[in-house]
Amino acid sequence: MKTQIIVALDGLTAAEALALAEKLAELDVVFKVNDLLDDPGPQIITDLSPFGRVMADPKFHDIPNTVANRVKKLVDQGPDYITVHASGGLAMMRAAVKNADSSQILAVTVLTSLNEEECHLTFGNPVKAKVLYFARQAAMTHVHGIVCSPQELKFLAGFPELKTLIKVCPGIRLLNEEVKGDDQARKMTPGEAKLHGADFIVIGRPIVQAPDPYQAVLNIYTEMEKVD
């Protein structure tokens, strides 16, 4: 399976997101919705579906019953993927999987905005140790995949019990890309992420704000094709 692109539609209006999705429909990318789940609401998933697969990114984190109810309602809109926080625990992830129907559950490990110091302060462990812990818990609950930094991929590849998990990687930055106020602490280029085993890479602004988003996606795939 080649590394595929998830286009983050964060910060766009519904009209902007739909117009962009229509432009990219032929490229078989996945569209990630986060704040759009609040405005205009979950219906945006159904509206985007004619243009490609949709990743609903609410990052649910609550008691198992609450997450079960929220996943069940969100599934009615037909998302291909739904995110939850692995830190919510085994029972919570199992509840999400039980109510996912045909959607696939992705468990977020350690947010890519956290560096080593912040991970220690938040979880009491180094990044790799905590990502491994959450990934193993995710595998135990039969979620379909995890969300992690590409920097942890090579390390995780050493654990056979994690091989079947889909690996989704934010924290992607293009070669020579300059980002003002960059909120990603653990990052790699698309080519590096592919080389380390990413199934999906999440990219927002370099595509969304490009003069030609269609060509921007093609350029990223071309960059990844150069990596063996």
Residue whose entry in the numeric block shows the structure tokens 């209006």 = 13
The C-alpha atoms of residue 199 and residue 166 are separated, in whole angstroms, by: 6
Cα atoms found within 13 Å of the Cα of residue 163, Cβ hemisphere only = 4
Q: Which is catalytic among the residues 23, 59, 98, 128?
A: 59
Instruction: Report, in this order, helix, strand and coil percent for the chain, each rounded to 5.
Output: 45, 20, 35
DSSP helix/strand/coil, 82: strand
61 token code pair: 């984190």
CA distance 30 to 33: 10
What values do phi and psi take at 194, rounded to 5?
-60, -45
Annotated catalytic residue 72: no
Cα–Cα distance for residue pair 91/74, rounded to 1 Å: 19
Contact 166, 146 (CB under 8 A): yes
- Phi first, then psi: give them for residue 106, nearest 5 degrees: -115, 125
Q: Which residues are catalytic?
A: 59
